[in-house]
Amino acid sequence: MSLTFRLGTRRSPLALAQARQVQAALAELHADLTVELVPITTAGDRLRGSLADRGGKGLFTAELEAALGSGRLDLAVHSLKDLPERLPPGLKIAAFPERADPRDVLVTTAACGLNELPAGSVVLTGALRRQAQLLYLRPDLRVEPVRGNVETRLRRWRESGAAAIVLAAAGLDRLGLAEVPAHPFDPQDFVPAPGQGTLAVQVRAGSAAEVYCRALDHPPTARAAAAERGLVSALGGDCALPLAAWARPAGDGAALRLTGLVATADGGRRARAEVEGADPAALAGACAAALLAEGADEILRAARK
């Protein structure tokens, strides 16, 4: 007996590439399964202007989640950093496939890295988190906003005369853009977004898709995702705030090391903490407490205003 699942995805080239990865992995694991891609245009894809001003990252997932809940889809693939911490009733994440490179990269032909950019250079980014860290490291830079999918952002960089643009390493890799002059940041110095490089496979709880998708789960990635998303929840954060989180294995055991950072958009004030522990939820709580002790609450209040 064979099954057919309908896999929902955004229509962007990157989202489709990510969905095809999951489609291929399921086909390899389950010979009795056929997975059909169902591209859907979300409110975030239609957005013109600031994501933070129009309702946050849920704009990229709401239509997919509604289709899942109604039964029009059997599963959906999201970039984890686009997925709100609170899921609709009846839906759950069945799997976190193994994480790709979580780092940010500086795309430029003008230098070999951030420190080598000429004074006053224009750098493009659509993320307050990236803007805050750029200006903390190089307050002389001019940071200008950019939106759109990866190809649109790269075209804007090439046509605008800007010296550089900051993008996610995972996105470039998944799109096969190896020719792009990308210079990775050290994630200790330039902390990634919570969930960056991680995919989430979302299903209806108790469905056949949940059973089939469990085999895609990568426990170390799932633990890191829980710690990073737990920190976001503990701080009441969202895409409108310059908030970074990066969890990774610590040593050879089950411990994780979690780095958290919040900052003002101009990079002038920031709080940074790094903690270790075995339980992702406890680790997130400890990191949040350490950040608050460093003044994160005041930074977040100012950012929300």
Positions marked catalytic: 82
In the block, which residue shows the tokens 């009733």?
A: 89
| Count of C-beta atoms within a 10 Å radius of residue 80 | 20
Among 162, 163, 238, which residue's Cα sits nearest to residue 195?
Answer: 238
Task: State how far the Cα of 247 lies from the Cα of 265, in Å rounded to an integer.
Answer: 23
Task: State how far the Cα of 261 lies from the Cα of 114, in Å rounded to an integer.
Answer: 20
Q: What angle do CA 133, 138, 141 make, to 5 degrees?
A: 105
Task: State how far the Cα of 277 lies from the Cα of 31, in Å rounded to an integer.
Answer: 39
Task: State how far the Cα of 65 lies from the Cα of 49, in Å rounded to an integer.
Answer: 23
- Main-chain phi, psi angles of 48, to 5 degrees: -120, 120
- Where b means 16+ CB within 10 Å and e means fewer, 147-171 reads eebbeebbebbeeeebbbbbbbbbb
- Stated length of the chain: 305
Q: Token pair of 18, please?
A: 């990510």
At residue 57, the 3 state secondary structure works out as: helix
Task: State how far the Cα of 271 lies from the Cα of 303, in Å rounded to an integer.
Answer: 13
Task: State how far the Cα of 148 lies from the Cα of 46, in Å rounded to an integer.
Answer: 10
Q: In what order do the strands lie in the sheet with 122-124?
A: 142-144, 122-124, 164-168, 104-108, 182-184
Q: Token pair of 67, please?
A: 């289709």
